[in-house]
Structure 1
Amino acid sequence: MSGKIESLFRTRFRLLDGLASSYFECRETGQEQKRIYADVKNSLNDFSSDTATQELTDVVNGYKNGLMEHFKADYPKLSASQYRLALYLFCGFSLPSISIFIGTDLRNIYVYKSRLKSIISKSETPRKEEYLKYFA
């Protein structure tokens, strides 16, 4: 599992390093800004893919003692988008970042988060406090 976490961070840092280097070399040209924007957009789309989501789920389960597995077992009737929102919150992503990953307005993310938090709060699962700490 530590290998997966290391790989995830290495990929992330390689992406940032490459973008920063490109920006430094050509920061004054409009064409380069468009290219960097396209690179970032493509990277975000890749990160939001089902494959990347599954990899992130595996990392969270390994790193946080099966958190997503327990969450899915405790709340089997949630939608795929609710599971994805919870996953991103469990990873510690900011709400603006989550809005980009999910492809919706930030205000919608606040609403979705509030609804999901309400579902968790009303439940009787013994792990609800563990889940709620990620919704603070």
Structure 2
Amino acid sequence: MLMQSIRKSECPKELESADKRSSVHEPKKKHQAAFQGVGRTLGSSSTSATPEETSSTSSLNTAPNPSPGLVHNTVGDIRSFIDASRPESATIYQLQMMGFPPKLLVDPTQTIEQAGLANSVVIQKF
């Protein structure tokens, strides 16, 4: 009987007051507005950021301007770093840039940019 009253939106007899004078008031529901913000997904390349967002994050996400005395690292510098990191290991190895087919890095005077190594993976092959 209780559930039937609730389904009909009536006050169940068990909840009615004994004197029948006081009434039961249903609380009013607050109006909820639909979400009106901007949504973002992970990996999104959306560039619709507000000017405030771009000005505050641009200093964190951009590389500093190169100074005139900036030294460009070379393939030889990569080899020197590997040799210095593991002095006990063999120095007879090849450096290769990952990809298909792997590209041998044979010219130690090439800069990282000239060799196409920026944002690439370099492997050491014995």
TM-score, structure 2 as length reference? 0.24
Return the index of the structure with the highest Cα Rg.
Answer: 2
Which structure's residues are more often helix, by fraction?
Answer: 1
